[in-house]
Amino acid sequence: MYEQIAEQIEALIRDGTFAPGKRLPGERELAERVGISRPSLREALIALETAGLIETRVGDGTYVRADLSPTPVFPLATGRDLGPGTLEQFEARRALECAAAELAAQRAGAAERAVLQESLDRMHALVARGENPAEEHRVFHVALVDAAHNQIFSRLVRELWRARQGAMWETLRLKVENAESWRAGLVTRAQLMEALAARDGAAARALMEAHFHRVGRKYFDPGE
């Protein structure tokens, strides 16, 4: 039954009854309106959340995700079906992000470069305060790959970064995240911005490859 309800709610989202960014009715009210119990309604909501259509905030409410992709994605892909190894995920991200950096240098507009610069500025502030800029790293890299104007790259890199925040990566993250690496990352990303401004695709790719080479050694080389 939860599948029927999920489809029903998804239809309401797609036809605009529940607009992106808006709050859905409360679980109790929604359950009564649809004519099912709250547990069943919850199961439908969890299916929609797993599918990436909605997000919930405890004590507040359930919201339609604002960044809905135009193509329906319901039956598939939460990153959950990626293969097991962290090394494999890293290699995939390396291949995609290096290629995306080159394309982004050729294609990024001023607005996209501004978004990247803002992220870099926030990173500076975080590092200055001694805080972990990991989440901002993700934002930067996702924005960079978006600037490549390739939906496939964007989608895959997003999923790979999301997977990187899971439990599987926890011990590896500790190996590379420290004050020194944060500062080094700021320099690298600043150079990347210069390459983008100069529309120098080769330089952008080279910088990204050097970055992944350096990080990869810290992650996976036993000697370090």
Q: Which residues bind DNA (CB under 7 A)?
A: 1-2, 24, 26-29, 36-40, 42-43, 45, 56-62
| Residue 206 binds to a copy of itself (criterion: CB under 8 A) | no
Contact in structure between 160 and 141 (CB atoms under 8 Å): no
Q: Smallest gap, in angstroms, from Cβ of residue 187 to DNA?
A: 35
| Residue 103 binds to a copy of itself (criterion: CB under 8 A) | yes
Q: In angstroms, rounded to a whole number, what is the distance separating the alpha carbons of residues 81 and 184?
A: 33
Query: 61: helix, coil or strand?
Result: strand
| Residue 7 binds to a copy of itself (criterion: CB under 8 A) | yes
Q: Smallest gap, in angstroms, from Cβ of residue 62 to a copy of itself?
A: 14
Amino acid at 192: L
Q: In angstroms, rounded to a whole number, what is the distance separating the alpha carbons of residues 214 and 212?
A: 5
Phi, psi for 10 (deg, rounded to 5): -60, -40
Residue (69 or 178) nearer to a copy of itself, CB: 69
Q: Smallest gap, in angstroms, from Cβ of residue 92 to DNA?
A: 31
The two tokens of residue 224 are 């370090």
Q: Are strands 54-57 and 61-64 parallel, antiparallel or unpaired?
A: antiparallel
Q: In angstroms, rounded to a whole number, what is the distance separating the alpha carbons of residues 130 and 46?
A: 36
| Residue 184 binds to a copy of itself (criterion: CB under 8 A) | no
Q: Smallest gap, in angstroms, from Cβ of residue 149 to a copy of itself?
A: 8
| Residue 107 binds to a copy of itself (criterion: CB under 8 A) | no
Q: In angstroms, rounded to a whole number, what is the distance separating the alpha carbons of residues 27 and 127?
A: 41
The two tokens of residue 42 are 């919850």
Q: Smallest gap, in angstroms, from Cβ of residue 41 to a copy of itself?
A: 12
Q: Give the residues lining the site for a copy of itself (CB under 8 A).
A: 2, 6-7, 10, 14, 39, 42-43, 46-53, 68, 71-78, 80-85, 88-89, 91-92, 94-96, 98-100, 103, 150-153, 155-156, 159, 166-167
